Amino acid sequence: MKKYYVLTIGLLLIFALVSCGPAETPQPEEPEEQTPQEEPLGPITLATTTSTENSGLLDDILPHFEEKYSTRVNVVAVGTGQAMEMGKNGDADVLLVHAEATEIEFVNDGYGVDRHRVMYNDFIIVGPEDDPAGLKETAGADAAKALSIISENKVPFASRGDDSGTHKKELELWQAAGIEPEGDWYKSVGQGMGATLNFANEQEAYTMTDRATYLSMSDELDLVILVEGDELMFNQYGVIKVNPEKHTGINKEGADRFVEWIISDEVQQKISDFGKDEYGQSLFVPNAE
């Protein structure tokens, strides 16, 4: 009996040791401990939406920033609603989100400063290939019309239902169509874009998605694009610095550099190039002014 007890402790210790090894290496490269390069910045917390992370954009462009300033960017990918809340509470230094009206309100309320447009992509309505509601023929590029057809036919529609930028946009469209979406056919999933697309795929439901997430997952999905190109479905991403005067401990310097960096010509080009090789089209179109 004692032997096993000792064995357990031993094993747990080995786990701890093993885990201490490699886990340390990719830890944040604390800029303070390195030979100071041009401007040592503390780690930056970026609150952003699931779409920028799930699409792989951030993985593609952030190493450039981290190398340039020998710092690290801690990406917390949540819905736009939660990202804004993190900004309000001072739990992030900079936000990269997509809900223009809410963003402007956020800045006007004094929670954020210095907002810039960064890039856009567009929303699309996707659905099962056989298109039971016949959106493709009847709705054309009219998103509001497409939604009214969906609600008239009571075909299943998956909604993010998580107060994210995409969810807000979807609600705007329902409003434009003059419909209060309710009923068994309207399924509020309460999860990220990827999870919602998987859900729609399994349930053969329609859903509204940003193009980037859809394209990055299209290999795994049987859903096809049915409605696209409506101006209402324009999806603008903005970057906002969290107001450093509201809370102590905000990495102001880091946020300043980050915003400068992401709207620079060089990075805008990187955004434009992202995804071209794999999908034959840009996932995001840069438009910083």
Partner 1 sequence: MENILQGFQGALSLIFSGDREVYSIIGLSLRVSFISVLISMAFSVPAGIIIGMREFPLRKTVVMVINTLMGLPPVIAGLFVYLFLSRSGPLGYLGILHTPKAMIIAQVLLISPIITGITMASVKDRGTLVKNTAYTLGAGRVQILWTLIREFRTSIGSSLIAGYGRAISEVGAVMLVGGNIKGFTRVMTTAIVLETNMGNFDQAIAIGIVLLSLFFIINIILQRIQGA
Instruction: Give just the sign of the alpha carbon dihedral 140, 142, 145, 149.
Output: positive
Restricted to residues 183-242, the positions that interact with partner 1 (CB under 8 A) are: 191-195, 197-198, 216-217, 220-221
How far, CA to CA in Å, does 164 sit from each of 28, 56, 129, 167?
29, 19, 26, 5
Q: Which is nearer to partner 1, 16 or 101 (CB)?
A: 16
- Total residues binding partner 1 (CB under 8 A): 48
Should residue 34 be labelled a site residue for partner 1 when binding is judged by CB under 8 A?
Answer: no
Stretch that binds partner 1, among 31-39, 110-118, 226-234, 248-256 (CB under 8 A): 248-256
Helices (H), the chain: 2-24, 50-54, 57-68, 80-88, 100-108, 135-138, 143-153, 165-177, 193-203, 211-217, 252-262, 265-273, 276-279
Instruction: Give just the sign of the alpha carbon dihedral 91, 54, 230, 185.
Output: negative
Report the residue from 61, 68, 91, 113 that binds partner 1 according to the rule CB under 8 A.
Answer: 91
CB of 282 closer than 8 Å to CB of 113: no
The DSSP output letter for 23 is: H
Q: Percentages helix, strand, coil for the chain, rounded to the nearest 5?
A: 45, 20, 35
Should residue 64 be labelled a site residue for partner 1 when binding is judged by CB under 8 A?
Answer: no
Report the residue from 68, 136, 145, 247 that binds partner 1 according to the rule CB under 8 A.
Answer: 247
Q: How far is the CB of 25 from partner 1 (least distance, A)?
A: 7
Should residue 11 be labelled a site residue for partner 1 when binding is judged by CB under 8 A?
Answer: yes
Q: How far is the CB of 30 from partner 1 (least distance, A)?
A: 12
Report the residue from 34, 37, 89, 281 that binds partner 1 according to the rule CB under 8 A.
Answer: 89
Which residue from 51, 63, 186, 210 is spatially nearest to 126, judged by alpha carbons?
A: 210
Residue that is written with structure tokens 């020998």 in the block: 70
- Cα separation of 195 and 183, whole Å? 21
Q: Which is nearer to partner 1, 61 or 232 (CB)?
A: 61
Report the residue from 76, 179, 232, 285 that binds partner 1 according to the rule CB under 8 A.
Answer: 76
Helix (H) / strand (E) element for 235: namely strand 234-242
Q: How far is the CB of 2 from partner 1 (least distance, A)?
A: 8
Should residue 45 be labelled a site residue for partner 1 when binding is judged by CB under 8 A?
Answer: yes
CB of 73 closer than 8 Å to CB of 29: no
- Cα separation of 71 and 262, whole Å? 15
Q: Which is nearer to partner 1, 35 or 248 (CB)?
A: 248
Should residue 16 be labelled a site residue for partner 1 when binding is judged by CB under 8 A?
Answer: yes
Q: How far is the CB of 276 from partner 1 (least distance, A)?
A: 20
Report the residue from 60, 68, 75, 181 that binds partner 1 according to the rule CB under 8 A.
Answer: 75
By three-state DSSP, how is residue 181 classified? Answer: coil
Stretch that binds partner 1, among 11-19, 107-115, 116-124, 149-157 (CB under 8 A): 11-19
Q: Residues interacting with partner 1, by CB under 8 A?
A: 1, 4-5, 7-8, 11-12, 15-16, 18-23, 25-28, 45, 50, 54, 59, 72, 74-78, 88-91, 191-195, 197-198, 216-217, 220-221, 247-250
